[in-house]
Structure 1
Amino acid sequence: MTGWTADRMPAQHGRVAVVTGANSGLGLVTATELARRGAHVVLAVRNTAAGEEAARRIGGDAEVRELDLASLESVRTFAAKLAADHPAIDLLVNNAGVVLLGPRRTTADGFELQLGTNMLGHFALTGLLLGRLAAASAPRVVSLSSITHKNAHLDFDDLMFERDYQASAAYGRSKLATTIFGIELDRRLRAAGSPIVSVLAHPGLTRTNLTPRAWEHRGRLGRLFAWAGLLATQPVERGALPQLRAATDPDVHGAQFFGPARLWETRGRVAEARLGREAADPAAGKRLWAAAEALTGISYL
């Protein structure tokens, strides 16, 4: 593969990087590469035992902290403890996510699970850490989008998808919401004169453990379809490159969006990706922001 690779990452010594969902998949690769370049990496994970195993595999300067993005109480506890121990945070990678293909499920706070975890949990986390990010030199927030956001649409009258629930559509909505959040965050940071940069990335079609898990409830046939689908995807090491570039390239500016360049952004070298129309709409950004503040009880910018 030509183009931008992890070998082009600048040194990260002296920087504190928080990566959600860092115990496997894209998060593990991202945390590993950041640590390899000298960053102190905080593995923000729901399963701390898996996080400790990941930290051993990484072998660099890494610490494990418990974070369940499907619980606002957990998000608040994590953020408070992290802020107490780290006066400045240089990088926040909002990587963690869930994929469902089964019945509708909810978070501890009653949100549809995919929207609540993938977007609202990260909205709350980012807001609670904003002060520590602003205290750092060249701070950055990276939000993980998906190519599915381009075909999704937010229904603000039914954000929690309580009517006619479809898991795949709900996932697309959660990633559209995440993308809108990342773009709107940049607008608000710029208006506030903040030093924090908000950027986005998506992995194209990448082999991770999320899809097989989502199909598990469908038995042997479901698992067969899941693993067959994964054969058509690119390795996770390649899938993580867009978010690594978004996180570390010194030439990146606010609201940039990175993804694979080939086959409708499903694979290949890292390039700037195309935003869906709704994701770039300032009116959608303003409306989603107001909804997220009301739902999470967290207001910022």
Structure 2
Amino acid sequence: MSYIKAGQDANGNDIKLHYTDQGTGQPVVLIHGWPQNHEAWNYQLGELPKHGLRVVAYTRRGFGNSSKPFEGYDYDTLADDLKAVLDELDLQNVTLVGFSMGGGEVARYMSRHGGARVAKVVFVSAVTPFLLKTDDNPDGVDKSVFEDMTQQMKDDRFGFLQAFGKDFYGVSTLSHPVSQAVLDWSFNMGSLGSQQATLGCAKAFAETDFRRDLETISVPALVIHGDDDKTVPIKNSGDRMNQHLKHATYVTYDGAPHGLFITEKDKLNRDLIDFAVSGTVRSDDNR
């Protein structure tokens, strides 16, 4: 296994981030969602390197085989971890791709570290610009929704993860866009996260305001969201991104759930390849 050092915890222990580095060419860095790890990018890691791209995917602290410190699950720290990945591998002209929670890391990195080493950014099913409903964010999600999630995880995190996976991929009594094997695989990824990381990151993506972060981004940007996303509803996220990232290209996937890196893998792969290579995506009726 390959690891990158991302500082130390409060006890002086090294924090190591598990990563994979595939292919050669223009670098693309994939940042996974909550509560999974970089293995979630299975279909992207298997396809993007075939198209002249060097693809790096790493696991956020607290999850998978990365170190699991007790602290450090705020977005400033997570953005610093991303910086450690880019610096250690000396990546230049990077296309940063953030899925769900990972979109927050993209936004915070771009403002906190001035967009160093980054040429393009992609937000996929992202939690940006700001999920929590507040007086100045009336279109957000009510705080009680996140409080209920937190309580469920404290009571029975594994039971929560099993139920969460169904909404994540749009599984219902009448709809089965993924197999039980995919649900099991996703559950196993989530179960490898620590309790503290799972709770801490949920608090971070629920409560962090990325609106000012987004307004610092001037590089080409792509926003992708499924219009049947029950986990991060499009009306609270994708549809609001152009208020703060006005130059971004916005692509919606008809009928797609949150976990579109699986359910719409071919479409997503094509759009990521096109954008990383040329800075544009095709406009057709296949969306």
Hey, which of these two has a bigger chunk of strand by percent? 2
Provide TM-score, normalisation by structure 1: 0.40
